Amino acid sequence: MVATSSYLILGALIFAIGATGVLVRRNALIIFMCIEMMLNSVNLTLIALARQWGNLEGQIFVFMIMAVAAAEVAVGLAILIANVRHQQSINIDEINLLKW
Amino acid sequence: MDTSLLFDNAIVLLPEIVLAVGVMVLMMVDIGLMAEPENRTQRRKDAKAPREQNSAALLSGLTVVILLLSVGAALFIWSRPPAEYLGGAVSDGFALSARLIVLLAGIFGVLLSRNYLPAIERQSGAYYSLLILAVIGMMLMGTATNLIVLFIALEIFSLALYILSGFYRESARSIEAAMKYFLLGAFASAFFVYGSALLYGAGGSANYVRIHETLSSGGGNPSLVLPGIALLLVGFGFKVSLVPFHMWTPDVYQGAPTPVTAFMSVGTKAAAFAGFFRVMMTALPSLYDQWAVLLAVLAALTMTVGNLTALRQSSVKRMLAYSSVAHAGNILIALVAGTAAASSAALFYLFAYAFMNIGAFAVIVALERTGEGDVAQSRFDGIAERFPALAAAMAVFMLSLSGMPPLAGFFGKFLVFKAGVEAGWSWLVVIGVLNSAISAYYYLRVVVAMYFSDAESEPARNTGAGLNFSVTVAAVAVIVIGLQPGLWTGLLRGLGI
């Protein structure tokens, strides 16, 4: 059986890759995908911890996160499309009407 | 499992259930109203205008009724002893008063939208439904006693607010605000949920009390606790806009439709702080020594950066956004103090803040021109001559926000600072008092502009029963709470966690 700590480290690595992606990439869609990756790394962490504790709360939490992620996709893509109509671009460097 | 367990104490969630049913009714009514004109295609275009007026009035009226029913449900539960529902929601005084503050913000939000909304968007049914959904999420934040419920509540109100802030679809600024809010908000939620996952791993349960029991007895995975707290702080810091997670606040406040900003600024703050207080004080009191120092540094940073940046803003909405960042720092002092008295002081602060901040945004709504989406400071020049009542109300709100006695804002600050000193955080309170002095400058600048400058041009003023009512009620409340603080502190005493 693989130790829980291995899963936690893998989860942390995926989370870090996702977070780096959000900060480095300039395409709003890719940023969005990176956020989804962060959420999924949390799911992995939760499942591993639920196995260690032997209770179901962690697994229920995972289902909730999946449902929320789906809702987030619906809202997020709608906002992205609305933004493309105004900006003709999904590069976040061009989102600069509001500053200071 | 016995299914009757599902209904035991379900009354704890009665205010939320009322709202959820209300949203469905509202959407049905909206569909009915939309379908009707198609039956009579002969109807002339110009005859349609009053019909839309009527349906907008009906929808906003219905929304206010639904919110008032929920207030009634909350007061009804208040008369009963506190109960807990399935280890996930609780109906103690803290949860109920946080709920009432959120409902107050919701009702004001609807009243301000009544005349504002038809100018920017015709789908008012969707708007009011989303507003109620946001209120449901916000109410659950203070009620939740379980990390899973807390996360769901956070996402319910966040998703609704992302859409609401981009509701003015023709305005590039509004869409941009929604876009920034969404990307940064989703990013922060990922941190939040990772923090919750690690706390679950540390305590072996998602329930706050059981996490506390495991951690204080030395069990669990202690190595996961501190990373968990740090990640949770990022999530909450984003929602209550603490420095350095505040970068979205001014952009979203400025770009979003002003009634949404008014509702969001007060509702999000009350909800997120209620959730924040409950997690820190019921799940993690055994680690107080670690997180209190961290939060104290964040509070000092938040107050200072918020106030110094607000000094150089030319847009009033942005100025109020930075002022709300600074106020988040003040309220955080109460959490740093970490006593029951401090958490009821924070409730009083949020209660007073609801009236003064919504009042200030209501005055902005009154002076805004359609489609402008932003009000420069110069718009306030000399308005005291043309609209003396409006200027007087704005002066009351500005003085109260700066913490001038004897207005409501002063007693909020006073109680929070007092709790801070009593818990031994004098240095933090000194920074808070110095910051109040700085903040007086930019609040008073608005008052001076209103009374001592010449009007730039012919100023316009939006009217409407809801708008005038909100400004009046907020101004009266700020003065009455200020003159009779004992009445309200007595009501809120003993409600801390």
Q: What is the pTM of this model?
A: 0.94
* Beta strand pairing call for B84-85 and B89-90: antiparallel
Q: What mean pLDDT is reported for chain B? A: 90
CB within 8 Å: A99 and B251: yes
Give Cβ neighbours of residue B120 (< 8 Å, ≥ 6 apart): B167, B168, B170, B171, B257, B370, B371
Chain B, 147 to 186: residues with Cβ < 8 Å from chain A are 147-148, 151-152, 155, 159, 162-163, 166, 169, 172-173, 175-180, 182-183, 186
Q: pLDDT, tens digit, for every residue of B80-99?
A: 888 889 888 998 889 999 99
Q: What percent of chain B has pLDDT over 70?
A: 94
Q: Find the closest chain B residue to A50 by CA distance.
A: B201
pLDDT surpassing 60 at residue B373: no
CB B373 within 8 A of CB B252: no
With beta carbons under 8 A apart, name residues in chain A contacting B204: 53, 55
Say how many CA atoms lie within 13 Å of A50 toward its Cβ: 18
For B471-485, what is the mean pLDDT? 92
Nearest to A35 among B186, B200, B201 (CB): B186
Using alpha carbons, select from A8, A63, A57, A65 the residue that is nearest to residue B200: A57
Cβ–Cβ contact B87 with A under 8 A: no
CB B122 within 8 A of CB B9: no
Enclosing domain of residue A32: 4-89
CB within 8 Å: A64 and B152: yes
With beta carbons under 8 A apart, name residues in chain B contacting A39: 190, 193
Residue type, B284: L
Cβ–Cβ contact B204 with A under 8 A: yes
Listed by start position, the domains of chain B span: 9-492
pLDDT for B42: 47
Give domain status of residue A75, yes or no: yes
Q: How many domains does chain A have?
A: 1
With beta carbons under 8 A apart, name residues in chain B contacting A15: 190, 194
Query: Which residue did the predictor score with more confidence, B144 or B50?
Result: B144
Burial of A84 (0-12, 13-18, 19+ CB in 10 A): middle
Using alpha carbons, select from B144, B223, B193, B87 the residue that is nearest to residue A46: B193
Q: pLDDT, tens digit, for every residue of B223-254?
A: 999 999 999 999 999 999 998 999 999 999 99
pLDDT for B386: 86
CB A66 within 8 A of CB A43: yes
Q: pLDDT, tens digit, for every residue of B97-130?
A: 999 999 999 999 999 998 888 877 767 889 999 9
d(CA A10, CA B189): 20
> What band does B273 get if pLDDT is binned at 50, 70 and 90?
very high
Task: Give the closest-approach CA distance of A57 to chain B in angstroms.
Answer: 7
CB within 8 Å: A75 and B182: yes
Q: pLDDT, tens digit, for every residue of B309-324?
A: 999 888 889 999 999 9
CATH code for position A72: 1.10.287.3510
pLDDT surpassing 70 at residue B47: no
Give domain status of residue A48, yes or no: yes
Give domain status of residue A99, yes or no: no
Residue of B145, B158, B179 to mutate, interface with A, max A Cβ within 10 Å? B179
pLDDT for B401: 95
pLDDT for B371: 61
pLDDT surpassing 80 at residue B359: yes
pLDDT surpassing 80 at residue B424: yes
CB B277 within 8 A of CB B346: yes
pLDDT for B487: 79
Cβ–Cβ contact A52 with B under 8 A: yes
pLDDT for A100: 53
d(CA B141, CA B129): 19
Residue of A32, A52, A98 to mutate, interface with B, max B Cβ within 10 Å? A98
Nearest to A95 among B180, B187, B205 (CB): B180
CB B453 within 8 A of CB B382: yes
For B35-43, what is the mean pLDDT? 54
- Count of residues in chain A: 100
Query: Which residue did the predictor score with more confidence, B33 or B273?
Result: B273
For B171-175, what is the mean pLDDT? 89
